[in-house]
Amino acid sequence: MSNISAKMVADLRAKTGAGLMDCKKALAEAGGDEEKAIEALRKKGMASAAKKADRTASDGLVQSYIHMGGKVGVLVELNCETDFVAKTDDFKTLARDIAMHVAAASPGYVSREEVPADVVEREKGIAAAAVENKPAHIVEKIVEGKMEKVYQEMVLLEQPFVKNPDVSIGEMLKEQIAKLGENILVRRFARFQIGG
pLDDT at residue 6, as a whole number: 82
Q: What does the alpha-carbon distance between residue 23 and residue 164 come to, in Å, rounded to a whole number?
A: 24
Which range among 37-41, 43-47, 53-57, 110-114 has the greatest average pLDDT?
110-114
pLDDT at residue 163, as a whole number: 94
Phi, psi of 60 (to 5 degrees): 135, -150
Q: Are residues 97 and 176 in the same domain?
A: yes
Q: Are residues 64 and 102 in the same domain?
A: yes
Q: Are residues 18 and 36 in the same domain?
A: yes
| Residue 146 within a domain | yes
Q: Quick check: pTM over 0.75? A: no
Q: Are residues 73 and 147 in the same domain?
A: no
| Residue 125 within a domain | yes
Q: Are residues 180 and 84 in the same domain?
A: yes
Domain assignment of residue 35, given as a range: 6-52
Using pLDDT thresholds of 50, 70 and 90, give the confidence band for residue 51. Answer: low
Using pLDDT thresholds of 50, 70 and 90, give the confidence band for residue 37. Answer: confident
Whether the per-residue pLDDT at 48 is higher than 60: the answer is: no
Q: Are residues 178 and 90 in the same domain?
A: yes
CATH code, domain with 38: 1.10.8.10
Using pLDDT thresholds of 50, 70 and 90, give the confidence band for residue 185. Answer: very high
Tell the burial category of 89 from Cβ atoms under 10 Å away from its Cβ (0-12, 13-18, 19+).
exposed
At a CB cut-off of 8 Å and minimum separation 6, what does 155 contact? 107, 108, 109, 110, 111, 112, 114, 115
Give me Rg for the CA atoms of the chain: 20
Q: Are residues 102 and 171 in the same domain?
A: yes
Whether the per-residue pLDDT at 93 is higher than 90: the answer is: yes
Structural domain total, the chain: 3
Q: Are residues 133 and 169 in the same domain?
A: no
The least confident of 12-16, 163-167, 175-179 is: 12-16
Q: Are residues 143 and 172 in the same domain?
A: no
CATH code, domain with 104: 3.30.479.20
Task: Give the mean model confidence (pLDDT) for residues 171-176.
Answer: 92
pLDDT at residue 168, as a whole number: 94
pLDDT in tens, 126-173: 888 888 778 878 888 888 889 999 999 999 999 999 999 999 999 999
Q: Are residues 83 and 70 in the same domain?
A: yes
pLDDT in tens, 97-112: 999 999 999 999 999 9
Half-sphere exposure of 69 (CA within 13 A, CB side): 0
Using pLDDT thresholds of 50, 70 and 90, give the confidence band for residue 1. Answer: very low
pLDDT at residue 125, as a whole number: 87
Q: Are residues 70 and 99 in the same domain?
A: yes
Q: Are residues 40 and 129 in the same domain?
A: no
Give the three-class secondary structure for 81. coil
